[in-house]
Amino acid sequence: MSGNASHPVTMLTHNKVQLALHELRGGEGRALLLLHGLGEQSPDTVPAWAGSWPGPVHALDFTGHGRSTVPAGGGYNAEILLADADAALAHLGEVTVVGRGLGAYVALQLAGARAAQVRGAVLCDGPGLAGGAIGPTSQFFVTLPPRPTPPDPYALFEMSRDLRPPDYATLFVRLALEGSGLDEPIAVTNVVKPPWLAAVADAVGVLSTTLPEAIAAYAGLPS
């Protein structure tokens, strides 16, 4: 474990990548896991909207962001970042997850892929929310100059073009609904709704609400 002036940071080993998991606040009970937007990093302190959360609050730096490893040559997609979040979930156990922008899409995927462990996923506006096309496109390759500090330019480029088919996104809603035992395992707080998110918002089992109301609703769930 390492740290800075404000909070401890645990470095999780995931394949060849080191992922920075920030403990913004300790405590007992189910953790709140924060997933940042594209090009961002974890906050240094607990956001004001999360102050009422009764348990610990953690935040993850995705690969290529914050204090996590920047791999050589790119190769980013949403499933790579889903694996990052899954590594954090394996460390924390049961969580409620809040995702911003790109983190919202990953939070949705995590809620479906690990439905029994995710007690609510809250989707919020932020960078990288839209992604790329909703259907197959031509492949192309680029070489980008290295950058001495995160975020990784390859992450910014590739994740802004990541496919987000609406029917693929709603699959994770169905998985969350079937596996979580919750009536509304997904909460959408977004103002901006690209096609994939509009489809999610219209799906059965999705709550359209505000961020404070979503936090309060999931905080009250039994573990």
Give one DSSP letter per residue of 188-203, joined into a string. E--S---HHHHHHHTS
Q: What does the alpha-carbon distance between residue 29 and residue 165 come to, in Å, rounded to a whole number?
A: 35
| Residue 164 C-alpha from the chain's centroid | 15
Asked if the model's pLDDT at residue 5 lies above 60, the reply is: no
Whether residue 166 contacts residue 133, with contact meaning beta carbons closer than 8 Å, is answered with no
Q: Which domain holds residue 184?
A: 2-219
Q: Which pLDDT band holds residue 203 (cuts at 50, 70, 90)? A: very high
Kindly tell me the sign of the dihedral angle through the C-alpha atoms of 221, 24, 209, 161. negative
- Domain CATH number, residue 44: 3.40.50.1820
Residue in 124, 123, 112, 125 with CA at minimum distance from that of residue 182: 112
Whether residue 176 contacts residue 111, with contact meaning beta carbons closer than 8 Å, is answered with yes
Max avg pLDDT among 3-12, 52-61, 214-223: 52-61
pTM of the complete model: 0.93
Domain count, the chain: 1
Q: From residue 186, give the alpha-carbon distance in Å to each of 64, 92, 111, 133.
A: 27, 20, 8, 23
Q: What does the alpha-carbon distance between residue 43 and residue 87 come to, in Å, rounded to a whole number?
A: 19
Kindly tell me the sign of the dihedral angle through the C-alpha atoms of 79, 85, 87, 93. negative
Q: Could you give the percent of the chain with pLDDT greater than 90?
A: 82
| Tens digit of each residue's pLDDT (9 = 90 or more) over 73-115 | 888 999 999 999 999 999 999 999 999 999 999 999 999 999 9
Whether residue 11 contacts residue 3, with contact meaning beta carbons closer than 8 Å, is answered with no
